[in-house]
């Protein structure tokens, strides 16, 4: 089934052209309408809007504007200088002046010509922006992590299922060959029965200025806060140097970065990580400054399937790196089976036996994971063709919830039982842990539809 929004737009353009030629009136089509440098004509491109064009958002924008069958027509940000810069980049790329600069995301979502939205806003806005897009019938690419509460993740998944929406999670490692290779090896039993997964990622930062400061003239601070608690502005509070590590706006790098290697763990293990589990471990949190997310963690997650996940903050233990002959770049995922292992990080894959890392998979293998060569292009193609992406909502929720459940365990300093299928804590400590499923949202923001 084709995307109904984009089909109606293209049909309208074709009908308009047909009507004009029917009267034998010469039609002059400008070069920009025909497409330049091998680009399809605008009527054949997916129309995209970007919400959040800061550091990460600007990278996503730079990727989208290079996709030939996509056309960015609007950028939205609560920081005036950022949306002005982003619009200039888009216009320079397309050699036009057509990119709209939008302050409030509702205006972008309301545009009927936009087929898909790329969400690169602050973490606490991810789900709110994605919900608006999905409910408006648009595809949604959402930067990681997904939400900052379990309730947010569940609300977005429900909306996508209800509206038959197309969603891509920003775990772009799924579109890199080395991760695809590693996960196929595990899924097809080339390392034997999976016993353990070792995962590590960069920790959050500590500190951050506490001094009150004037709100920057280019920032709409109330809009930036959104549903988060009203808090006086402190120096550089809106810089990702700090907000990434403030729990009002994020879960810190246990999810903000940890989601990458954790997502690969889930992709490789499949159903083995879909059973109930026990979570226990230790964490360290800042005692000064505005940052309050985990700056260290050592967590063991034992699944009823028999698989143990050992999740740690970088640096990885020396014995891990020595075993995998790997340089520590701050992240990695290692699968250990009873017949071998495979370790993978960006740009590197190692295995024992050593030939596994480069093997070609026979057609007789039981599992052939979804293969994508480019994460944003995969999203654009899937919205156009109305088909699942390489990082769909169900799997995004699984890995995101794992990170949040781990964070809950170390904050409460308690061994917890997590019922993965039911998405809830059970047993001792469950009542207090489950309170972290949701957050109070500042009015008028709500997750409810309508």
Confidence of residue 6 (pLDDT cuts 50, 70, 90): very low
Report residue 329's pLDDT band, with 50, 70 and 90 as the boundaries: confident
- In angstroms, the CA 311 to CA 201 distance is 8
Give the span between the Cα atoms of 239 and 416, in whole angstroms: 34
Nearest CA-CA partner of 262 in 130, 173, 376: 173
The answer to whether residues 294 and 281 touch, using CB atoms and an 8 Å cutoff, is: no
Taking residue 25's Cβ as centre, other Cβ atoms within 10 Å add up to: 8
User: Using 50, 70 and 90 to split pLDDT, how confident is the model at 38?
Assistant: low
* 139, pLDDT greater than 90: yes
Predicted confidence (pLDDT) at residue 449 exceeds the cutoff of 80: yes
Q: How confident is the model over 176-187, as pLDDT tens digits?
A: 999 999 999 999
pLDDT digits (tens, 9 = 90+) for 144-153: 999 999 999 9
Taking a C-beta distance cutoff of 8 angstroms, is the pair 114, 46 a contact? Answer: no
- In the chain, the domains with their CATH numbers are 174-370+393-437 (3.30.360.10)
Q: What percent of the chain has pLDDT over 90?
A: 88
Residue 423 pLDDT exceeds 50: yes
Lowest mean pLDDT among 112-126, 130-144, 321-335: 321-335
Q: What is the pLDDT of residue 15?
A: 32
Rounded distance, CA 422 to CA 44, Å?
A: 43
Q: Are 26 and 135 in contact (CB under 8 A)?
A: no
- CA dihedral in degrees (378, 383, 387, 392; nearest 10)? 60
User: Residue 131 and residue 107: Cα distance in Å, rounded?
Assistant: 14
Cβ(157)–Cβ(394) below 8 Å: yes
HSE-CB for 31 with a 13 A CA cutoff: 6
Q: What is the pLDDT of residue 39?
A: 67
pTM over 0.85: yes
pLDDT (tens digit per residue) in 361-404: 999 999 999 999 999 999 999 999 999 999 999 999 999 999 99
pLDDT tens-digit series, residues 42-90: 668 999 999 999 999 999 999 999 999 999 999 999 999 999 999 999 9
Mean pLDDT for the chain overall: 91
Residue 32 has pLDDT above 60, yes or no: no
Dihedral Cα 374, 380, 381, 387, nearest 10 deg: 110
pLDDT number for residue 222? 98
Mean pLDDT across 183-209: 98
């Amino acid at each position: 089934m084709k995307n109904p929004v984009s089909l109606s737009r293209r049909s309208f353009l074709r009908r308009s052209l047909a009507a004009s030629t029917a009267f034998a009136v010469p039609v002059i089509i400008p070069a920009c309408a025909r497409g330049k440098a091998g680009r399809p004509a605008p009527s054949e491109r997916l129309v995209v809007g970007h919400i959040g064009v800061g550091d990460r958002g600007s990278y996503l924008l730079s990727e989208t504007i290079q996709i030939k069958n996509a056309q960015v027509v609007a950028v939205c940000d609560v920081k005036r200088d950022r949306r002005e810069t982003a619009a200039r980049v888009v216009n320079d790329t397309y050699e036009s002046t057509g990119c709209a600069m939008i302050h409030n995301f509702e205006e972008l979502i309301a545009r009927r010509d936009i087929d898909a939205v790329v969400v690169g806003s602050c973490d606490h806005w991810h789900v709110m922006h994605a919900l608006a897009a999905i409910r408006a019938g648009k595809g949604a690419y959402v930067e990681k992590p997904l939400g900052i509460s379990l309730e947010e993740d569940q609300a977005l998944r429900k909306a996508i299922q209800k509206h038959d929406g197309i969603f891509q999670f920003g775990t772009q490692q799924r579109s890199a060959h080395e991760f695809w290779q590693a996960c196929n090896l595990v899924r097809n039993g080339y390392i034997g029965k999976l016993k353990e997964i070792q995962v590590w990622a960069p920790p959050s930062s500590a500190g951050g200025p506490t001094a009150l400061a004037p709100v920057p003239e280019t920032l709409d601070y109330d809009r930036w806060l959104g549903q988060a608690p009203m808090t006086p502005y402190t120096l550089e509070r809106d810089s990702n140097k700090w907000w990434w590590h403030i729990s009002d706006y994020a879960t810190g790098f246990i999810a903000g970065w940890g989601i990458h290697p954790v997502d690969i763990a889930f992709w490789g293990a499949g159903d083995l990580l879909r059973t109930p589990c026990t979570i226990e471990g230790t964490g360290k949190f800042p005692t000064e400054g505005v940052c309050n997310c985990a700056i260290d963690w050592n967590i063991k997650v034992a699944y009823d399937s028999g698989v143990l996940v050992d999740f740690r903050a970088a640096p990885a233990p020396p014995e891990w790196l020595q075993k995998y002959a790997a340089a520590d770049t701050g992240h990695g995922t290692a699968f250990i089976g009873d017949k071998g292992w495979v370790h993978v990080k960006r740009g590197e894959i190692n295995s024992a036996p050593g030939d596994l890392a480069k093997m070609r998979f026979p057609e007789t293998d039981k599992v052939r994971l979804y293969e994508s060569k480019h994460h944003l292009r995969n999203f654009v193609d899937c919205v156009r063709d109305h088909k699942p992406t390489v990082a769909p909502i169900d799997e995004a929720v699984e890995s995101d919830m794992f990170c949040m459940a781990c964070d809950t365990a170390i904050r409460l300093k308690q061994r917890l039982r997590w019922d993965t299928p039911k998405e809830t804590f059970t047993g001792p400590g469950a009542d207090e842990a489950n309170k972290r499923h949701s957050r109070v949202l500042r009015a008028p923001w709500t997750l409810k539809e309508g």
